[in-house]
Amino acid sequence: MTYVVTDNCIACKYTDCVEVCPVDCFYEGENMLVIHPDECIDCGVCEPECPADAIRPDTEPDMDEWVEFNRKYSEIWPVIITRKDPLPEAQERDGETGKREKYFSEAPGEGG
């Protein structure tokens, strides 16, 4: 099992999760985070830390696509281990549907 970041992180990018991760398996894009599925140790401490409820276990239905999505971007984006402020529009975008199609950026974040 692994945990993955889903589309509700897009345009929010809360980073509360990265501070509690014991193996530093979060990677930062311009407007979201992902988890490297091969580095995640399945401890689950990140899931309750996410204010946007964007972190899910891969055992939930229809998560295969998100596992591959997280794998792809974790291999090209920089690791992030320190908390940063969320994106300015985080509160208004939290829970919005269709965020991947509307807002997702493949650009890497700064990491750190």
User: What integer pLDDT is reported at residue 84 of this predicted model?
Assistant: 97
User: What integer pLDDT is reported at residue 38 of this predicted model?
Assistant: 97
Q: Tell me the average pLDDT across 13-25.
A: 97
Q: What is the dihedral of CA 21, 66, 1, 49, to 10 degrees?
A: 30
Query: CB neighbours of 97 closer than 8 A, spacing ≥ 6?
Result: none
Q: Tell me the average pLDDT across 1-21.
A: 97
pLDDT above 90 coverage of the chain, percent: 99
User: What integer pLDDT is reported at residue 34 of this predicted model?
Assistant: 98
User: What integer pLDDT is reported at residue 10 of this predicted model?
Assistant: 98
- Average confidence score pLDDT of the chain: 97
- The tens digit of pLDDT for each residue in 40-87 reads 999 999 999 999 999 999 999 999 999 999 999 999 999 999 999 999
CATH class given for the domain over 3-84: alpha beta
Are residues 58 and 4 in contact, defined by beta-carbon separation less than 8 angstroms? yes
C-alpha closest to that of 110 among 30, 35, 32, 36: 30
**Cα(91)–Cα(88) distance, rounded to whole angstroms?**
8
User: What integer pLDDT is reported at residue 106 of this predicted model?
Assistant: 98
